[in-house]
Amino acid sequence: MSERKRTKTQRAILHAAKVLYEKHGVGNVPFDDIAEQAGVCRTTVFNHFADAGELQQAIAVAEIGELIEFGENSKLKGLALVNALLDKLIDDTANYPRVMARLANATILGGEGGRVSEIERMIARQYELEFGESLARANVSAAMLAQMTMGLYYGQVNHQLAFGLPFEVDHMRSQMRGMLELLLKSVRAGE
């Protein structure tokens, strides 16, 4: 099998798994169903992923990788890029809220923490570009602001789930902008 076909098949499996995990729950979907949804045979799924844990980790790695790639290739800088990254996270989360929440928790607690930290470092660099010396005057580091920014995202997702609220993109983006503005208020005061 060519590398291109292997990659295409793997993407189809990952997408099928996300769709089914969202519909039925992450722990309630057998590989047979994923194979059918992806249009491949069960053996093909096992050729790509040894078990459900490996498949779930691959989904998390792919999601984080797409976000990092988006940030690295974007022409946006500073706060505009931070907002665009958060928008992309919210878009993905609104489409697959339960999957993204579970994968985010697994990623934070599991072996992909290094990739999540890449996102935080990317956000921190953008805060440095945007606010420069104002950060020191506000007595906050760019890294701390990035950590709190990601905390706002995770808190928003957990709040939506805990209260059974709908994952509406526009509403979530508006809430995130408001929370981020409150977070950045002291930094802006030092400008």
Residue pLDDT, tens place only, 128-186: 999 999 999 899 999 999 999 999 998 898 898 889 999 999 999 999 999 999 999 98
Q: What is the pTM of this model?
A: 0.83
Question: Average pLDDT, stretch 50-69?
Answer: 86
Residue 20 pLDDT exceeds 60:
yes
pLDDT confidence of 56, banded at 50, 70, 90? confident
What pLDDT, on a 0 to 100 scale, did the predictor assign at position 64?
Answer: 84
Residue 14 pLDDT exceeds 90:
yes
Half-sphere exposure of 38 (CA within 13 A, CB side): 25
Looking at residue 91, the DSSP 8-state letter turns out to be H
Q: Are 150 and 123 in contact (CB under 8 A)?
A: yes
The CA–CA distances, whole Å, from 156 to 118, 173, 180 equal: 21, 10, 12
Residues constituting the chain? 191
Percentage of residues in the chain with pLDDT exceeding 70? 92
DSSP one-letter string for 60-88: HHHHHHHHHHHHHH-S--HHHHHHHHHHH
Nearest to 1 by CA among 29, 56, 43: 43
What's the CA gap between 182 and 191, in Å, rounded? 15
What pLDDT, on a 0 to 100 scale, did the predictor assign at position 27?
Answer: 81
- Alpha-carbon dihedral 23, 27, 31, 34, rounded to 10 degrees: 20
**Between 147 and 59, the higher pLDDT residue:** 147
pLDDT confidence of 70, banded at 50, 70, 90? very high
What's the CA gap between 58 and 80, in Å, rounded? 29
Instruction: Indicate the average pLDDT of the chain.
Output: 89
What pLDDT, on a 0 to 100 scale, did the predictor assign at position 191?
Answer: 66
Nearest to 61 by CA among 111, 4, 7: 111
Give residue-wise pLDDT tens across range 81-123: 999 999 999 998 888 887 777 766 666 665 554 577 889 999 9
What pLDDT, on a 0 to 100 scale, did the predictor assign at position 53?
Answer: 83
Element containing residue 43 per DSSP (H, E): helix 42-48
